[in-house]
Amino acid sequence: MAEKIPYDEFGMFHENAEEYGLPFTTQPIVRREFVSVSSDRRLSALVWDRGEPEFVFLHGGAQNAHTWDTVMLALQRPAICIDLPGHGHSDSGAQPTANDLPLQANASDISTVIAELAPNASVIVGMSLGGLTSLALLRDHPHLVRSLVLVDITPGVNAEKAKAITDFVNGPATFPSFDELLQRTIEFNPTRSVSSLRRGILHNALQQDDGTWVWRHRRTDGPALPEVDGERLTLDPSSLWDTIAATSIPLMLVRGMRPQSVVSDDDENELRRRSPQAKVERITDAGHSVQGDTPLELAQLLLEFEN
């Protein structure tokens, strides 16, 4: 029988702080909340601090709310970090219908959580799938989005740009040991420290009774989504360019400039064309996971953007 690796969800913040040189004198005030989004489904969120949340964070596909931990320690602001449907501690999303595409369904669930836990938040921050979900939220529930930050994502993302990510996500369903899971994660995340990847796996994977490991997030067979009326749905966010063009709220794109980014120069130019008032920030040392590669820089940009 393989040794059981201990996991304390709120016991690793000191490691985040030490790695990035942040002061750590007391344990941060963080709790996990669950919000019912239907009669049989709940979404989960981490609630940071006791004050009224100023920020809402939505993570990327195959991630979870803890991806923002170092950003939150640097930010020092009340916020909620939501586990997307089918990720982290959240139940799977509603089954999409032909007229209810996955991003729309995600946005509907997320709107319920925000309305209950952070109805007056001033900034929505969405990375990758969370960024596309936040754009769908802006389109369908605009009263909840007062300003928006997109972290390394635009509606111009496609299968080719996201290939490295989907190759990683669609890897083995189970791993014989933690070390094998860690090694694969290191290979696909060359910009991250081993210590941060180890923490990330403990938050994002489960050790089963036989000692093997599986990811927390719901897997699909490739990037495609469930079938509806015999037709397989695919995620096409291109219509969300119109949402960007139509909005007048403050908008910022934070773009990683390493090869792992899924944002091209053409995407950036299209965003500037659709929203001339939008702010664009390029981070040289970040890939796609800006919050993991350069969390302190991202936190500083968010503070400046909020003010």
Q: How far is CA 249 from CA 210, 246, 266, in A?
A: 51, 9, 22
Whole-number Å distance between alpha carbons of 112 and 133? 13
CB neighbours (10 Å) of residue 97?
Answer: 12
With contact defined as beta carbons under 8 Å apart, do 157 and 141 qualify? no
141 is catalytic: no
Catalytic residue among 91, 152, 267, 293: 152
- Nearest alpha-carbon partner for 235 in 155, 169, 289, 161: 155
Catalytic residue among 44, 90, 288, 293: 288
Q: How far is CA 72 from CA 10, 55, 201, 270, in A?
A: 13, 10, 19, 30
Q: How far is CA 87 from CA 46, 91, 130, in A?
A: 13, 7, 11
- Nearest alpha-carbon partner for 58 in 50, 67, 47, 49: 67
Catalytic residue among 108, 128, 196, 289: 128
Burial group, residue 95, by CB count within 10 angstroms (0-12, 13-18, 19+): exposed
128 is catalytic: yes
Phi-psi region of 260 (alpha: psi -120 to 50; beta: other; left: phi over 0): alpha
Q: Give me the DSSP letters along 115-153.
A: HHH-TT-SEEEEETHHHHHHHHHHHH-GGG-SSEEEES-
Whole-number Å distance between alpha carbons of 213 and 133? 28
Phi-psi region of 24 (alpha: psi -120 to 50; beta: other; left: phi over 0): beta
195 is catalytic: no
221: three-class secondary structure by DSSP: coil
Catalytic residues: 128, 152, 288
